[in-house]
Structure 1
Amino acid sequence: MDRRGLPRTLRVIVFILRPLLMLLTKRDWQGAEKLPRGTGYVLAPNHISHLDPFVISHFMVDNGVTPRFLAKDTLMKAPVVGAILRSAEQIPVRRRTANAKDSLGPAEAAVRAGLVVTIYPEGTITRDPAAWPMSGYTGAVRVALSTGTPLVPLMQWGPQEILWPYSKRPRLLPRKTIHIRVDDPIDLSDLEGQVLDEKLLRTATDRLMDTLTAMMAEVRGELPSTRRIDVHTVGKHTSTKKSKEL
């Protein structure tokens, strides 16, 4: 990617952080050739660490995609952080609107304009004790279906070894391998042209989360041993095993 095409703030961030990521991590990246070209689309990754946006952005920049994530509109209005996010051309999500479709209006507009928007379907870092994907909210599939653009699953595994979910103690050494897999866009052809009601959106979201879980299982060489956590009940689950934070 010609990084001169990135927003200036992103160029500065890349200039500072990319050499550090190259030094501190090893990379096992596969499937970049499956990223759509010449169209906007939704990139839907699993969420396992506070480091996710950095390692995913590293992958995106090195594969010719400008990183754009959803950010809460309250953050976009904050004095310092908001200025950085706005100048980096991140996408606001209006969480306080009564209508879910209206809250994702800026994301839909960006995708229709040919941009790539990264939306975490889980909406938060996984609370699964073994870091498997939880169920998802419907925002990612809503944007893809309403705009008629691809929904691309991206699975990552490795950032949690540096910074376990909700932990504050990074483990930089020995260097950890960041596994990233991109699969073909989720097949939603049977759902196109239908009313985007809750049942349809849930069906599509389950399809996405099943794909991300299968992609992770292949990398990890194992299957989940417990039922998938419902994101709507995450307050009833502990965030991590305490031993992982010590």
Structure 2
Amino acid sequence: MHSPSRSNRAYRNVARILRPVLMAVTRRDWHGVEHLPQDTGFIVASNHMTNVDPLTFAHFLWDNGFAPKILAKSSLFKVPVVGGVLRATGQIPVYRNTVAAADSLAAGVAAIGAGECVAVFPEGTLTREPDLWPMAGKTGVARLALMTQAPVVPVAQWGAQDLMGRYSKWLKPVPPKKVTVVAGPPVDLTDLYGRPLDAATLREATERVMDAITELLEGVRGAKAPAVRYDMRKSPSSDKERPGQERPGGDDATTQELP
């Protein structure tokens, strides 16, 4: 297949290694490609259940013509080999809870302005919701969306957790796992354009994005999400209930905590 036109040589080389592996260990059930804009930079926002779903997310985008710029935790850029791959392929480091956090936002805005597909996980870490439903999102996706007025395409993934468990570091490649990825229509945020980026506006935009992702996931799973979205900040004791898991702020594969 042809590589996305915006991919550089390093990105193509990484894809030549990873794509055959993903093709071998997954059975792909992909829908909603028509919702991915072809003529403008945009944001694509997905739920986050396991450390492998950034790869299944990127696979969906790559095979449909996009080389996503994924917002990834800055500490990953310091990991040998992994950091070099992230830098070479143009991924965007997220500097959590530091004065450099605004740099992540600026890099995301610049990428969108240049026509790139910027991929985010609005929850900021792996969901802590017991049944893997999306939890409360952070406002970074809202800031990006409202500053750029770029389309925000919601995406739901399901099945990647069977390939690698939520807190596991080991793949279960046999037999190949069905991975469903569904993209929906862009979230309508037009009535929020031009408003001050205060807490109320950012929260409203974030909730709309999370609602859209959750609705798509309900369709995939054939079930209803809890009426009240799980909020990690309001349920700190829940992390004591699952031994061996990574705690909030731990070394999850990707995060998206912009200022």
User: TM-score, normalized by length of structure 1?
Assistant: 0.90
Deviation of 1:241 after TM superposition, in Å, equals: 6.1
Q: CA RMSD in A?
A: 2.3
- Higher deviation after alignment, 2-11 or 87-96: 2-11
Deviation of 1:29 after TM superposition, in Å, equals: 0.3
Query: Which letter does structure 2 place at the counterpart of 1:201?
Result: L
Cα pair distance change 1:120/1:4, threshold 3 Å: closer
Cα pair distance change 1:63/1:97, threshold 3 Å: same
Partners in 1 of 2:240 and 2:154 — Cα distance? 24
Deviation of 1:66 after TM superposition, in Å, equals: 0.6
Give the equivalent residue in structure 2 for 1:3: 3
Deviation of 1:219 after TM superposition, in Å, equals: 0.9
Q: Does the residue aligned with 2:182 lie in a helix, a strand or coil? A: strand
Partners in 1 of 2:124 and 2:235 — Cα distance? 11
Deviation of 1:108 after TM superposition, in Å, equals: 1.0
- Is residue 128–residue 240 contact of structure 1 (8 Å, CA) maintained in 2? no
Structure 2: state its 5+ residue gaps.
Answer: 244-259
Give the equivalent residue in structure 2 for 1:151: 152
Cα pair distance change 1:68/1:199, threshold 3 Å: same
Deviation digits for residues 123-154 of structure 1, max 9, x if unmatched?
Answer: 10111111000010010121011011111101
Give the equivalent residue in structure 2 for 1:121: 122
Deviation of 1:171 after TM superposition, in Å, equals: 2.4
Higher relative contact order (CA 8 A, sep 6+): 2
Query: Which letter does structure 2 place at the counterpart of 1:84?
Result: V
Partners in 2 of 1:169 and 1:74 — Cα distance? 21
Structure 1: state its 5+ residue gaps.
Answer: none
Give the equivalent residue in structure 2 for 1:211: 212
Cα pair distance change 1:208/1:224, threshold 3 Å: same
- Higher deviation after alignment, 170-179 or 156-165: 170-179
- Is residue 94–residue 101 contact of structure 2 (8 Å, CA) maintained in 1? no
Partners in 1 of 2:72 and 2:80 — Cα distance? 15
- Higher deviation after alignment, 11-20 or 225-234: 225-234
- Is residue 45–residue 154 contact of structure 1 (8 Å, CA) maintained in 2? yes
- Is residue 122–residue 231 contact of structure 1 (8 Å, CA) maintained in 2? no
Query: Which letter does structure 2 place at the counterpart of 1:32?
Result: V
Cα pair distance change 1:207/1:226, threshold 3 Å: closer
Query: Which letter does structure 2 place at the counterpart of 1:53?
Result: P
Cα pair distance change 1:147/1:14, threshold 3 Å: same
Deviation digits for residues 95-114 of structure 1, max 9, x if unmatched?
Answer: 24348655411111111111
- Is residue 4–residue 65 contact of structure 2 (8 Å, CA) maintained in 1? no
Give the equivalent residue in structure 2 for 1:76: 77
Cα pair distance change 1:4/1:56, threshold 3 Å: closer
Deviation digits for residues 70-124 of structure 1, max 9, x if unmatched?
Answer: 1233433555432221111111223243486554111111111111111110010
Pairs aligned (count): 243
Partners in 2 of 1:98 and 1:220 — Cα distance? 40
Percent of matched pairs sharing the same residue = 44
Give the equivalent residue in structure 1 for 2:197: 196
Q: Does the residue aligned with 1:177 lie in a helix, a strand or coil? A: strand
Give the equivalent residue in structure 2 for 1:104: 105
Deviation of 1:12 after TM superposition, in Å, equals: 1.6
Q: How does 1:53-92 map to 2 (within 5 A)?
A: 53-78=54-79, 80-92=81-93
Cα pair distance change 1:98/1:197, threshold 3 Å: farther
Give the equivalent residue in structure 2 for 1:26: 27
Query: Which letter does structure 2 place at the counterpart of 1:47?
Result: H
- Is residue 19–residue 59 contact of structure 2 (8 Å, CA) maintained in 1? yes
Q: Does the residue aligned with 1:164 lie in a helix, a strand or coil? A: coil
Give the equivalent residue in structure 1 for 2:247: none
Partners in 2 of 1:124 and 1:179 — Cα distance? 20
Partners in 2 of 1:74 and 1:172 — Cα distance? 27
Partners in 2 of 1:156 and 1:114 — Cα distance? 24
Off by >4 Å, runs of 4+ in structure 1: 98-103, 239-242
Give the equivalent residue in structure 2 for 1:180: 181
Deviation of 1:224 after TM superposition, in Å, equals: 2.3
User: TM-score, normalized by length of structure 2?
Assistant: 0.86
